[in-house]
């Protein structure tokens, strides 16, 4: 009887041990399953970059334009930022007798119109008929306009057409007629007006501008060796402030390229070299390519000068701006650094598949503290690092939207 009870107790002990082992296995596997389910991430398309925000001076190839009558005030012929051809009129100065002559021309025009009403006109020639059609079309076109600038442009066109029509009609009138005499008088007044006005033309092609700040001759583009941090800081410019419009001067600016100079002291900038190409992000979020064309070495800092050939017109009104220097930028498959496994100087990720995982060899292109940009090796690269043709054939590649485990 006692032996039977011992056998039963022995069986109970064995059964208890088996149950505990099974429970431990179940708990362990459950924890692993929960861990695998929760600690994973998705491979997605993304970018990594190394950027540094800086203040930068805009340096342009620009020629200041000024005449002898600047004290009289100016009239813009080309708008600020409008393209100017070589020898094209950019602006003009008011003359002392301008108002008087314009008033006399207006009085003569009124007399011409009265004389035309009282005179039997010869048959209109083709030029006059064409001008009348132009006047009619321009007037009709004004009804569809809401923009003040466009309306003013149409008004100026109409005045020009009417002036030409009066001139042609007067010259076609009989010799000695009142209209003919008044037209000749008008021509003389226009010649006086033209002779009294100082028109400033562009010495070269470029962008017309009236934002003159006095730094055009101090910030030169032919040789940047004159640049120092003391010089740049002495200007005491306000970041992002627009250069005010001048009422006395204008200038013509090279519209193909300009230069950006910045005082900087960082690890990346200390390694920069002339000829390096980087990306600059403007305050408008536009990203443009820039080439380092000059470096000035100073104690504990450098002045980097970048050449840019895009967005020159957008920078026309500024002298000091903020930009981001993007030293490098990579776009591709972006994964968390926690998904990377290093083994034998190689990097792997563990892809989660239904019911199992598989290890994928990846190449890290760029990395920061949190993420990496990765891609699969090419067959040639795999062969170069020692894999056989059979091994390469069996290898799987990382793909967009793969689920990889975190470690």
> pLDDT tens, 301-357?
999 999 999 999 999 999 999 999 999 999 999 999 999 999 999 999 999 999 899
pLDDT, residue 59, reads 98
pTM assigned to the model? 0.67
Do the beta carbons of residue 308 and residue 262 sit within 8 Å? no
Strand 198-201: give its sheet, edge to edge: 74-76, 89-93, 198-201
45, 334 contact by CB (below 8 A): yes
Per residue in 242-299, pLDDT (tens digit) is 999 999 999 999 999 999 999 999 999 999 999 999 999 999 999 999 999 999 999 9
* Structural domain spans, the chain: 40-49+333-405, 52-66+207-327, 72-201
| 3-12 LR contacts (CB < 8 Å, sep 24+) | none
Q: What is the Cα 330 distance to its own chain's centre?
A: 20
The CA–CA distances, whole Å, from 296 to 238, 262, 293, 304, 381 equal: 23, 10, 10, 7, 41
Structure confidence by residue, pLDDT tens digits, 316-329? 999 999 999 999 99
Which fold is adopted by the domain 40-49+333-405? 2.40.420
């Amino acid at each position: 009887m006692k032996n039977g009870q011992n056998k039963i107790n022995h069986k109970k002990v064995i059964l208890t041990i088996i149950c505990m082992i099974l429970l431990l296995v179940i708990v362990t596997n459950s924890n692993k399953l929960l861990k695998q389910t929760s600690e994973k991430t998705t491979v997605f398309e993304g970018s990594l970059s190394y950027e540094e925000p800086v203040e930068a001076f805009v340096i342009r190839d620009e020629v200041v334009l000024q005449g002898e009558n600047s004290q009289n005030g100016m009239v813009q012929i080309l708008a600020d930022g409008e393209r100017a051809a070589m020898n094209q009129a950019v602006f003009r100065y008011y003359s002392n007798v301008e108002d008087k002559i314009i008033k006399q021309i207006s009085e003569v025009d009124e007399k011409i119109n009265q004389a035309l009403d009282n005179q039997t006109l010869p048959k209109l020639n083709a030029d006059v008929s064409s001008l009348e059609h132009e006047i009619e079309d321009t007037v009709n076109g004004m009804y569809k306009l809401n923009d003040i600038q466009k309306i003013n442009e149409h008004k100026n066109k109409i005045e020009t057409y009417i002036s030409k029509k009066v001139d042609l009609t007067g010259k076609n009138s009989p010799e000695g007629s009142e209209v003919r005499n008044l037209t000749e008088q008008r021509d003389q007044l226009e010649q006086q007006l033209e002779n009294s006005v100082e028109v400033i033309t562009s010495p070269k092609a470029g962008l017309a501008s009236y934002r003159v700040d006095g730094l055009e001759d101090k910030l030169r583009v032919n040789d940047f060796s004159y640049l120092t941090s003391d010089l740049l800081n002495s200007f005491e410019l306000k970041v992002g402030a627009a250069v005010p419009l001048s009422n006395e001067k204008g200038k013509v600016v090279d519209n193909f390229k300009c230069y950006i100079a910045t005082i900087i002291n960082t690890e990346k900038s200390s390694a920069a070299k002339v000829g390096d190409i980087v990306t600059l992000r403007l305050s408008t979020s536009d990203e443009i390519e820039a080439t380092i064309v000059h470096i000035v070495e100073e104690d504990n800092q450098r002045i980097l000068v970048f050449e840019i050939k895009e967005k020159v017109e957008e920078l026309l009104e500024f002298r000091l701006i903020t930009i981001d220097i993007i030293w490098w930028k990579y776009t591709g498959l972006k994964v968390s650094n926690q998904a990377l496994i290093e083994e034998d100087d190689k990097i792997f990720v563990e892809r989660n598949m239904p019911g199992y995982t598989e290890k994928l060899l990846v190449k890290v292109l760029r990395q920061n503290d949190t993420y990496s940009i990765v891609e699969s090796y090419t067959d040639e690269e795999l062969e170069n690092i020692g894999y056989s043709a059979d091994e390469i054939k069996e290898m799987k590649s990382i793909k967009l939207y793969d689920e990889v485990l975190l470690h």
